[in-house]
Every structure is written in structure tokens, then in C-alpha cells.
Amino acid sequence: MTSPLLEVRDLVVEFPRRRGGPLRALDGVSLEIGAGEILGVVGESGAGKSLTGAAVIGLLEPPGRIAAGEVRLAGERIDALPPAVLRRIRGRRIGAIFQDPLTSLNPLYTVGRQLVETIRAHLPLDAAQARDRAIALLRETGIPAPEARIDHYPHQFSGGMRQRVVIALALAAEPQLIIADEPTTALDVSVQAQVIGLLQRLSRQHGAAVLLITHDMGVIAEACDRVAVMYAGRVVEVGPVAAVIHAPSHPYTAGLMGAIPPMDGERERLQQIDGQMPRLDAIPSGCAFHPRCPRAFGRCRQERPELMEAGATQASCWLVQEAPSA
């Protein structure tokens, strides 16, 4: 793509341990997102999706740290910046939305105060201008009667409304990139669709790139342009949503798609992938998926595959080279 907005190259995140070497939670993750594009990151719990988002925005919980690789925003490296500089980028150029809207908002302050505080932290506006902007943001995210509701407290909003407030807060300083970590998981299904629609609309209108992290394939299919599949701290497949869902190249992705009950037709049993994702301290040699892979062969056990072109997508699987996609 032409000059991606976000570039993550071979990112490695480690957690030091008391005994033995450090634990590698992310092992060479690479991603790209262009302006106005929505990239989904999908995978099981523990695959490293949230960590990737945290690493990009610079909010890794210590003692976790970025051990190698780089993160570039609009061409500039941001992973090695001093904390004070990184702090100014957060909110202004990168916004974040977390899973639970109830706990994301400080219960003791009105929504307006939290909005105005964020706006004035990044933009040179006075109190009245900031308040106007806050009301506009609330209106944009679909909150009715924003002039009144701006002085309400978080507990006075319903779940879906709260998530809209959270989105408004994330957008307050017009960031170029939004990291949404499980934004719909804590919401009712009916509300989920609305929030997804909101994210899509705002992304188009503001031209922001969105990193949408979720374990819900339905959300991916609905909202994303491209999707990256993660497994055991690595990206195993990435490509346009339609291609990944309907013509996956990696056996893990195929397994994930096979586990989704089809709306049309019947199937006797849902396919399941035997075994479990390996623990961080027991990652297999070579390809991390090989113990569970129905098509693994010799090379898979020895050498770790990198992302390779595989038809419409890229997949890190030796089958792409040795056995042309069947």
C-alpha cells in the first residue's frame, strides 16, 4: 500500500522472569494499516492481540518491554521515544478504546469534565471552546441531547451510550490512528452493530486508521477491510477480509473459519482444532502451530515460517511453498 499510516515491523515484546530467560509474548509481529482503513486483529485469548495494541500506544505494563522491532507512525519511529514525547502522541495522534466502557470512565467526574480535560490537554482551546467541541463530539457519536447529557455522570448512561462516550473521548484530539481493543465484547448484540457502524463512519469521515482487536469473527466480517490472524504471539495470516474468511491459506485460519456454525445449510459437527494454544514458556520449535496442524510435515517442526504471499493473502506456512494451495 502507499505509505501506510502505521507500520509495525518484527515487534518483539518480552517479560523478564526471575528464573530462566525472559518470556516472549510477541515474537516478530508485523502489520500495516493505511489511512482510513480498518485492520482487524483476531485470535484466541492469549494470542497477543491486546499486547500488540498496548505496545503500539506505548502502554505496556511493566515489567513488559519492547525488546526488538519498530513501530512507525506516518513514517516516524515512535517505539523508542522518551516517555514525555510519547505521552503527547497518545491521545493526539493515537487514540485507544478499551473493552469495558463502565470501568473506562472515572465514575466521580462528569462526562463533560473528562472530555474537556482531554481536549484541552492537546488542543489550544479555552474552556468555552473546549466545551463546545465536547458537545459536538457527543453529538457526532450519536448521543441524544448532548447539551444536557454533557453534565451527567458515567453511571447515568447505558452500556452502549457509555461506549459512545468512550469513543468520543478517544476522538477528542482528532487522532490519526485508533486502537480499539474488544470494543463490542461487553455490549449487547443489538448495540454491537451500532457501535461498529459508528466506528466505521467515523473512520471514513476523519480518515483515521483503526486497529480493531477482537476474538469475534462476526465483528471482523462486518467491520474490517483487512484482517490479521494471530497465534501464540505471531501473525499467521493477513489479507483482505473476504479472502481470509473464504479462502484462507493457513491451516489455523481454516480451522477457525470451520468452527463457525454456518447460517445456511447443515453440518453434522463443527470442526474443532485439537489441542490448545501453547503457553508462552512452552512454544514449539519451528512453526508454533505444528503440533495441532492436520497437515504438518518435517520442515514445519524445524524451521519457523515467515509471512509469504499465498494467493490473495499472506500466510506464514510452509504449505504455501511446498504444496501449492489446494
Partner 1 sequence: MLAFILRRLAQAVAVMLTVAFIAFLLFQHVGDPITNLLGQDATSEQRAQLRAELGLDAPAPVQFVHFVGNALRGEFGLSLRQGRKVSTLIAERLPATLELALTAALLALALGIPMGVLAALKRGTALSQLLMTVSLLGVSLPTFLIGILLILLFSVWLNWLPSFGRGEVVALGSWWSTGWLSVDGWKHLVLPAVTLAVFQLALILRLVRAEMLEVLRSDYIRFARARGLSDRAVHFGHALRNTLVPVITITGLQLGSLIAFAIITETVFQWPGMGLLFIQAVSFADVPVMAAYLCLVALIFVAINLVVDLLYFAVDPRLRVERGAAGT
State the residues that interact with partner 1 by CB under 8 A.
Answer: 57, 59, 87-92, 95-96, 98, 100, 103-110, 117-118, 121-122, 144, 149, 152-153, 155-158, 160-161, 166, 169-170, 172-173, 190-191, 194
Query: What interhelical angle do 111-122 and 127-140 show, nearest 10?
Result: 110
Q: How far is the CB of 148 from partner 1 (least distance, A)?
A: 9
When the beta carbons of 18 and 246 are compared against partner 1, the nearer one is: 18
When the beta carbons of 59 and 312 are compared against partner 1, the nearer one is: 59
Q: How far is the CB of 91 from partner 1 (least distance, A)?
A: 3
Three-state secondary-structure class, residue 31: strand
> CA 44, CA 108: separation in Å to the nearest integer?
35
Alpha helices per DSSP H over 64-108: 83-92, 101-104
When the beta carbons of 45 and 190 are compared against partner 1, the nearer one is: 190
Q: How far is the CB of 177 from partner 1 (least distance, A)?
A: 12
Q: How far is the CB of 321 from partner 1 (least distance, A)?
A: 40
Displacement of CA 76 from its chain's centroid (Å): 20
When the beta carbons of 103 and 285 are compared against partner 1, the nearer one is: 103
User: What does each C-alpha distance from 315 to 124, 289, 311 come to in angstroms?
Assistant: 45, 13, 9
Q: How far is the CB of 196 from partner 1 (least distance, A)?
A: 14
Report the residue count for the chain: 326
When the beta carbons of 68 and 193 are compared against partner 1, the nearer one is: 193
> CA 7, CA 176: separation in Å to the nearest integer?
13
Alpha helices per DSSP H over 141-210: 146-149, 159-171, 189-206
- Strand 209-214 relative to strand 177-181: parallel, antiparallel, unpaired? parallel
Q: How far is the CB of 160 from partner 1 (least distance, A)?
A: 5
Which residues make beta-bridge pairs with 71? 8
Q: How far is the CB of 67 from partner 1 (least distance, A)?
A: 21
Instruction: Count other Cβ atoms within 10 Å, centred on residue 206.
Output: 15
Cβ neighbors of 162 (< 8 A, separation 6 or more) are 101, 102, 104, 105, 154
**Position 243: which residue type?**
A
When the beta carbons of 72 and 152 are compared against partner 1, the nearer one is: 152
Which is nearest to 220 in space by CA: 264, 260, 274, 161?
260
When the beta carbons of 30 and 163 are compared against partner 1, the nearer one is: 163
Q: How far is the CB of 86 from partner 1 (least distance, A)?
A: 9
Which is nearest to 41 in space by CA: 233, 266, 203?
233
